[in-house]
A and B are shown apart, each in its own frame.
Chain A
Amino acid sequence: MASTATLRKPVSGFRISRKMLPYVLSLPALLVCIGILIPFITAVIYSFQRYRLSQPWARQFNWGENYLNFFTDPAFWNTLKVSLLYAGITVTLELLLGLGIALLLQRRSTVNNFISIMLLLPLMIAPALAALMWKLMTNPSFGILSYLASLIGLHDFRWASSPSTALLTVVLVDIWVYTPFIMILLLAGLRSLPTQPFEAAALDGVPRTFVFFRITLPMLTPYILTATLFRLLDSIQQFDIIYAMTQGGPGNTLTVFQVEAYLNFFQSTNVGRSAALMVILWAITYFLSNIFIKNWLRLRERARGEA
């Protein structure tokens, strides 16, 4: 690694010891955040208790019972399925769409720059309020989208209120809100790619699809991984949009982890079950992000090795 080797050389006027420097730089960030571990561990302890706020006298350790109950509870398996499905669909579509838009806007021009900033607008509206507006726009009486749908013959499209279209509708809102997040990160990434490989390819007359799959995409992958990772972490924890649009319904169509845990905590005040659900969600995100980070680091290493 060129970077570490170069920096190991002593430079005059440098006061902090070389070995200490990275720790000095990174520890403040760690120290500020580390406090969250205390409530986190407390919550993990709750997840091993029979703990309903409405039955304080019955609070006791039941060890793995909250978790064991999930195995026989069809509602839990539905939650797991819906959460993974939702995250899978939204992240995949947003990644494809975000990449496509970033490519469309890749050329530097005033118009493109302006459009890319304006496209960030959906991200700037709080998801709970955005969902409220979408709910109005899809209302069968007053909703502009329902009205437009009826003009093209879709008179009976029920948006978030029918089990067959609820997932689709909520995914649509999610795409509207969060695609700009991926778009802006990939656009910044695209525009910071070195120009030489592309110029060389153009001179050699290499086909454009080849350039895209063999040069652009590999060079962009670290950015794609970062954007996807953060989107995935948020998507699997989606709450605002789903709760505001359907409250998890119709039936149990959209009872994702956070909706279940929210209802368990704030309405049923079943802290033990809510905490156990959240710990499982945490474990899933931990596992997924581990995979991402491993790949990210490997790609980084390779990129540096090539340079």
Chain B
Amino acid sequence: METTSTLEKTLRLIALTLVVVFFMFPIFWIFLMSFQTNETILAIPPSVIFTPTLSNYAALITGKLTTAAGTLDIAFMRNLMNSIFLSVTSVAIALVLGVPAAYAFARHKFKGSEDIAFTLLSFRFAPPLLVLLPLTQYFQWLGLSDTYFGLIWVYQLICLPLILWIVRGYFEDISADVEYAYRIAGHSWFATFRKIALPLAGPGIAAAGLLAFIFAWNNFVFALVLASADKQPVTVGALAFVTSSGIQYGQIASAIVLSVTPTLALALYAQRYLVEGLSLGAVKG
């Protein structure tokens, strides 16, 4: 691909610019809104000229929101902490459970392996609405409702199948010969898994982990139905700015900015694993 012409370079640049504009413009607009009050956000026609204010962020962080109908208490920071706790814990558990299972399915054809793998996937496509009512009732009986434990268990249904099936593909792409050579040298199965298979499938695990994190982060129906107000994630918390005395667009925008930050930081940190791919083309089968 070194023989690209100037024309092609230009076309690629135009295409990439269009892509960036389409996906980034709304983000940029939300970012601008987060520094405005409703008064300038709701200007006719819309305008980019405004005096920036930090009042939205201040309201979120201090937990005091002033509206047409007095000062309200908001629990946004608590929601943010809940989101971080729920997502991190759920993904960590899903990785611990899902990656070895993915390895098993990739490396071993055992009796019923495809059935088990498919069953695990099928948990992903039971629509949440279908199980919601029975789930709340069983949670009630088991004493699981309004516990982080119960929520994290339910979140496994979002995270585990995703991690399992994405990581499985990556394991299957790694040549078994490398592992075999290592095993012949006298290393245990576990050492092989840890020293060879895991690092090689690293990008896949990072991508799957990040995507599972995002899906866990964005979920809200489970927490809404199964837990009380002090355990709600940001997705529910941010809706508190849709108040009967008006939608507080500025605060929603800054809530979005704040809620995106941890995920973005995680993605930038894991960037190397995410987009580098397997740079070990030679060892692939």
A interface residue numbers (CB < 8 A to B): 1-4, 6-7, 9, 11-14, 16, 19, 21-23, 25-26, 28-30, 32-33, 35-36, 38-40, 42-43, 46, 100-101, 104-105, 107-108, 112-130, 132-134, 136-137, 141-144, 147, 176, 179-181, 184-185, 187-196, 202, 222-223, 226, 229-230, 233, 237, 257-258, 261-262, 265, 271, 274-275, 278-279, 281-282, 285-286, 289-290, 293, 297, 300, 304, 307
Q: Is the CB–CB distance between A147 and B45 below 8 Å? A: yes
Least Cβ–Cβ distance between B65 and chain A, in angstroms = 17
Least Cβ–Cβ distance between B122 and chain A, in angstroms = 6
Our pick among B22, B46, B116 for the contact of A147 (Cβ within 8 Å) is B46
Given the interface pairs A121-B23, A144-B46, A282-B126, the reply to whether A185 lies near B207 with Cβ below 8 Å is yes
Q: Is the CB–CB distance between B120 and A33 below 8 Å? A: yes
B278 contacts A by Cβ under 8 Å: yes
What residues of B have a CB within 8 angstroms of the CB of A22 in the complex? Answer: 104-105, 107-108, 110, 113
B15 contacts A by Cβ under 8 Å: yes
B195 contacts A by Cβ under 8 Å: no
What residues of A have a CB within 8 angstroms of the CB of B80 in the complex? Answer: none
Query: In the bound complex, how far is the Cα of B109 from the Cα of A300, in angstroms?
Result: 13
Our pick among B16, B19, B276 for the contact of A191 (Cβ within 8 Å) is B276
Query: In the bound complex, how far is the Cα of B134 from the Cα of A265, in angstroms?
Result: 12
Closest 5 A/B residue pairs (Cβ): A191-B277, A3-B176, A278-B130, A39-B134, A192-B278
Q: Is the interface of B mostly helix, strand, loop or mixed?
A: helix
B60 contacts A by Cβ under 8 Å: no
Given the interface pairs A6-B180, A278-B130, the reply to whether A233 lies near B189 with Cβ below 8 Å is no
Query: Which chain B residue lies CB-closest to A279?
Result: B130
B30 contacts A by Cβ under 8 Å: yes
**Contact-size category for B:** 35 or more
List 7 additional contacts besides A124-B264, A133-B256; criterion CB under 8 Å.
A36-B131, A40-B134, A105-B16, A125-B259, A136-B249, A188-B275, A282-B125
Sample 18 A-B pairs with CB under 8 A, ordered by A number: A6-B180, A7-B108, A19-B110, A22-B107, A25-B103, A35-B153, A43-B130, A118-B20, A118-B24, A120-B214, A191-B275, A191-B276, A191-B278, A192-B173, A262-B129, A289-B125, A300-B172, A304-B172
What residues of A have a CB within 8 angstroms of the CB of B162 in the complex? Answer: 230
Query: Which chain A residue lies CB-closest to B22?
Result: A176
Q: Is the CB–CB distance between B260 and A32 below 8 Å? A: no
Query: In the bound complex, how far is the Cα of B133 from the Cα of A39, in angstroms?
Result: 8
What residues of A have a CB within 8 angstroms of the CB of B120 in the complex? Answer: 29-30, 33
Q: Is the CB–CB distance between A113 and B275 below 8 Å? A: yes
Query: Which chain B residue lies CB-closest to A28?
Result: B97
Q: Is the CB–CB distance between B260 and A297 below 8 Å? A: no
Q: Is the CB–CB distance between B186 and A122 below 8 Å? A: no
Q: Is the CB–CB distance between A281 and B127 below 8 Å? A: yes
Query: In the bound complex, how far is the Cα of B249 from the Cα of A235, in angstroms?
Result: 27
